[in-house]
Each structure stands twice: as structure tokens, then as C-alpha cells.
Amino acid sequence: MAPPELEPPTAVYDACVLYDSVQRDLLLQLHVEGAVRARWSRRILEEYLEHLTANRPDLGARVHHAPRAMAEAFPGSIIRSYEAFLGRVMLPDPKDDHVVAVALAARASVNVTANIRDFPAAVLAPHDIRTQKPDDFVVTLAGGDIAQDRRAWTASTKGIRKGLSAPDAAPKCWLTSEVVAGLNTNA
């Protein structure tokens, strides 16, 4: 086993970062590449599915594909026993308590969410958990500068670029395109 400082971070992906398919695929690919140990719960997947169903009725039955595929492809990422951690942290919105409970159960050091204000640093710091937006998280994993770590970035994005309409776009162009909703290199 590698020393703790060489282990990839464990991160909980909140439902809101799974909503956009390209962003979700990027975050999952980082897990596949070993850059992060991604974690979530069935409740997080259900929350994601609930919002997707409400906002994208045009998807019909296809809406169930991504959460089902995630559960099947990454069974070790699903944190099942987190209820004992509910109520240990008081967040502004009690509906978010389960996300922190999953982080505590998973011993995660990062909560990846677009809702930073819902997870105050002062509340999570005593538990050694920091909250990052997806763009900040990706830049942190890339060593702070994606442009300088182009080889690692290319490896991590190769799989998902295949599914895009312009898969041969250079990684830097792909990153800065509007296709990557919510991500930017100016984090």
C-alpha cells in the first residue's frame, strides 16, 4: 500500500455535479484513471435522478441510464452505511446533511459540489473535509495548472472525448469550450 501522502484523495460527488453529462463523465474518468477515489450514496444518485427527471422530461426512460451504469460500474464507490454520521455536522440546509454523512463514512477529504455556500468551510474543517467546486477540484488534481500537466490531462479526458461530436479537438481547446459546462481553467 502506498504511503498516505501518495494515495489519491477520496472525494464525495454531490448530486449537482453529476447533472451535466460531460462534467459527470470527466469526474468519473478521473476516478477510473486513479486520480481520485470517487464516492457517493444511493441517496445522492436518487437526488440526481429526481432533478434530472424534473428538468429533462424529454429523456424519458433514458434518465435512469447514468445512475444505473454508475452503480454497476463502480460498486465500491457507493457508501451504504452512513446513517450513523447523520446529525454530526450542522449545515445551513439540513437536506444536505446526508452528503457530509457520506463524506464522514467514506473518510473523504473533499466534497465536490457546485453549492459551496451550503457547505461552510468553518463547519467542515474540524472534520478535515474541504468543499470544492468541480473546476477547482479538477485543477487541484492536475497539480494546479492543467496547461503544464497536459499529459495527465490528456490521459484523463481521452475516454470522454471519444463520445463528443468533435473528439479530435485538442485537450486545451476541449477544456475551454462551452461543452464543459461549469468547468474553466481560471479556478
Evaluate whether residue 66 is within a structural domain.
Answer: yes
The span from the CA of 121 to the CA of 117, in Å, is 9
Our count of domains for the chain comes to 1
Domain interval for residue 70: 4-176
Evaluate whether residue 181 is within a structural domain.
Answer: no
Percent of the chain past pLDDT 90, that is, above it, reads 49
List phi, psi (to 5°) of 93. Answer: -115, 110
The span from the CA of 24 to the CA of 27, in Å, is 5
- For the stretch 84-130, pLDDT in tens is 999 999 999 999 999 999 999 999 999 999 999 999 999 999 999 99
- For the stretch 52-74, pLDDT in tens is 889 888 888 888 888 888 989 99
Evaluate whether residue 31 is within a structural domain.
Answer: yes
Which regions of the chain does DSSP assign to beta strands (E)?
Answer: 10-13, 37-39, 110-112, 130-132
Evaluate whether residue 185 is within a structural domain.
Answer: no
What is the average pLDDT across 155-182?
47
If one compares 89 and 165, the residue with the highest pLDDT of the two is 89
Evaluate whether residue 184 is within a structural domain.
Answer: no
Contact assessment for residue 28 and residue 38, using Cβ atoms and an 8 Å cutoff: yes
CATH of the domain at 53: 3.40.50.1010
Contact assessment for residue 17 and residue 134, using Cβ atoms and an 8 Å cutoff: yes
Question: Which helix (H) or strand (E) is 138 found in, with range?
Answer: helix 134-141
Evaluate whether residue 29 is within a structural domain.
Answer: yes
Give pLDDT, residue 93. Answer: 92
Query: Other CB atoms closer than 10 Å to residue 42's CB: what's the count?
Result: 13
DSSP character at residue 80: -
The span from the CA of 187 to the CA of 180, in Å, is 14
Evaluate whether residue 186 is within a structural domain.
Answer: no
Evaluate whether residue 187 is within a structural domain.
Answer: no
Using a CB cutoff of 8 Å and minimum separation of 24, what contacts does 127-136 make?
Answer: 127/88, 127/89, 127/100, 127/103, 129/100, 129/103, 129/104, 133/182, 133/187, 134/17, 134/23, 134/27, 134/182, 134/183, 135/182, 135/183, 135/184, 135/185, 135/187, 136/187
Buried/exposed 79-112: b ≥16 CB within 10 Å, e otherwise? beebeebeeebeeeeeebbbbbbbbbbbebebbb
Give pLDDT, residue 152. Answer: 52
C-alpha cell at 183: 468547468
